[in-house]
Each structure stands twice: as structure tokens, then as C-alpha cells.
Amino acid sequence: MSDAKPIVGIIMGSQSDWPTMKHAADMLEEFGIPYEARIVSAHRTPARLVDYATTARERGLHVIIAGAGGAAHLPGMAAAMTPLPVFGVPVQSAALSGQDSLLSIVQMPGGVPVGTLAIGKAGAKNAGILAASVIALHDKAVADKLDAFRAAQTASVADVPVDEA
Ligand code: RP5
């Protein structure tokens, strides 16, 4: 994590979410975007959530990535308290494999949007890339890195499949 002032906030409901949410952080690192990562639980630390979300914009954040599992209220509650774009990552749960997390996050009532990603690692990775896309609108260095990332990804795809051992 760099010492620069964070412009993306990654929040998660529990320490147990970090192995998933780290994939968002990894993408932000790749694009050179300063971020912060915090445990903020809608259920266990509601006052921390209110403080985090209500001060996010004035502290200089541009985007919030929020990951939670199970009865995953964190992204929606954060979105209720900040005008910043909030991207929600459904963390894979033990009981219902993250389908509970997904439905909890995606079914926001009209008027309070949460951009909802896929369950688990892919969702966290894409949340990081999506946050970079937002930052890239006004940051040429990030835009160039994002273009390079996409070009490398495209170049990595073979034309013809091969037998694998
Ligand atoms: C949610 O409950 C968290 O986001 C986490 O995904 C899930 C389980 O949390 P722990 O019991 O592992 O702390 O609030």
C-alpha cells in the first residue's frame, strides 16, 4: 500500500473477507491507485460504518468497494450514506456459497445504486478494475496502465487450443 492519500476505499465486513477482497487491492496496486482497506461491519460496527461512509467524500475518496458475505448489508448501507460510486462484492459464504451475499447486495431498491459484481475472487478483481476505470476518466497515468492491462490480457489469449497435460 502506498503512502499517497487514498482515493479508493476497500471495506469489508470481516477479517475473513480479506482473502477475497485482496484481489481488488491487488488490481489497484497494479494500476498505481492509492487505496485504503478497512474492516467495517454493518452489523458489528455500525457506528464505524456511519463514520466511514459519511466522511468518505470529504476525505478524498472517489470510489468505495464494499465486500461482505451472508446477509450482506454493507454495500447498500454504505451507498445509503455517500454519493460516491459503491461497488459491491458478494463474498462466498459457507452456508449458501455466496448466493445469499449476491442477492443481498444486488437487489437494491431504485434510487440507491450499488454496482454489484460477481461472487468471490472474480468479483473482487473486477471491482478493482472497475474502480480503475472510474479513476482513469480523469487520470491519464491510470488510463494508460488500464489500456496496457487490457492489451496484455488480449495478447495472452491463444488462437488455437492445445492439449494440456
Ligand atoms: C459478514 O459475515 C462478513 O462480511 C463475512 O463475509 C461473514 C462472516 O464473517 P465472520 O463470521 O467470518 O467474521 O458480516
3-state secondary structure 82-119: CCCCEEEEEECCCCCCCHHHHHHHHCCCCCCCCEECCC
| Complex ipTM | 0.96
Q: Is the confidence at residue 1, as pLDDT, over 90?
A: no
Domains defined along the chain, listed by start: 8-146 (3.40.50.1970)
Would the pTM count as exceeding 0.90? yes
> What is the structure's pLDDT at 165?
82
**HSE (side-chain half, CA atoms, 13 Å) at 57:** 9
Cα of 50 to ligand 1 centre, how many Å? Answer: 18
In this predicted model, what pLDDT tens digit does every residue of 56-97 receive, in sequence order?
999 999 999 999 999 999 999 999 999 999 999 999 999 999
The response to whether residue 68 sits with its C-beta less than 6 Å from ligand 1 reads: yes
57 annotated to a ligand binding site? no
